[in-house]
Structure formats: structure tokens, C-alpha cells
Amino acid sequence: MEIELKLLVAPEHLARLRRHPLLRAGARGKPVSRRFFAEYYDTEDFALQRAGVALRLRHEGRRIMQTVKFTGRVEGGLHQRPEGESEVHDGQLDFAVLAQAGWSKTLSDPDLQRRLRPMFATEFRRTQRMLEPSPGSVMEFCLDQGEIRAGNH
């Protein structure tokens, strides 16, 4: 189960956010930045979206990770949802791994598998830092800057 708090920050406020005392006081180690590229898959008629499933391939340096996420709860930017992840080695979706893990009956349908296409892509830089706001309470703070592309947009 993944729990995320997602917030939108206007670009003109990023420097101020990075200097915020709450982020600096609880910081453990130095921030680490990495670049990511991801493609999100669905069918032309959005069968995965209707089933509450999100499927992506994300390039993380030399690794390519396949991730499947399921509908969960969203309240005020707080996202809670089940997800599974595995490394793929040829840059293609690996339905055998999805079936083995029992992640989704929807994704085991051969007809649906044939119809899956990249629907949009994200390219961003993630700056990550571990925070310990109080003893024994550790969280990951990530700041993503990038773009989402679909078709010619």
C-alpha cells in the first residue's frame, strides 16, 4: 500500500519551498536528484481507467520498472492505493509477471493486452530527500518538475 500526499506548487514558489524550515530542520542527508521518463498505457476506449487500473513503464536510469496501480482513496491530495512494481529487461510490458503476482485479472485478458497503447508520457526531474520530523518518524519528500505529454500536446 502506497500513501502519498500530492500537492501542486507554482514554479515561482519552488525556491521558497526548498528553503522552508520544516524541510531543512528534519532533513536526513543531502537531496538526491534523478531524471525519469514514463509511458502510461491504456486502450483507445480507456478500459484500464474504467477498471480502476493504471499501468506504466518508467525509465529510472538504466532500469525500466513496470508499475501497476489500483483505485484507492483520495482525500484532499492524500492518495492511498495498492500498487505493484517489477523490473522489465526488454522495455516491453511483461504480462507474465503481472499474472504471476496476481495483480489484476483485467490485465490477464489477451485481447486487452493486444489493444494497450502508450496514451501519455511524463518526463521529469525528481529531487528526493528523507525527512525525520520527529524521532522515529521518517518520510520521503519528493519534488517533481517536468511535463506531461499526450499526442501533440
The predicted pLDDT at position 2 comes to: 61
In order of their start, the domains of the chain are 2-149 (2.40.320)
The predicted pLDDT at position 116 comes to: 96
What letter would DSSP give residue 94? -
- Evaluate if pTM is beyond 0.85: no
Q: Which residues contact 153 (CB under 8 A, 6 or more apart)?
A: none
pLDDT in tens, 97-133: 877 766 667 788 899 999 999 999 999 999 998 888 8
> Please, what sign has the CA dihedral across residues 136, 139, 140, 142?
negative
pLDDT in tens, 29-86: 888 999 999 999 999 999 999 998 999 999 988 999 999 988 877 777 777 777 888 8
| All three cell numbers of 104 | 489484476
Residues of the chain above pLDDT 90, percent: 40
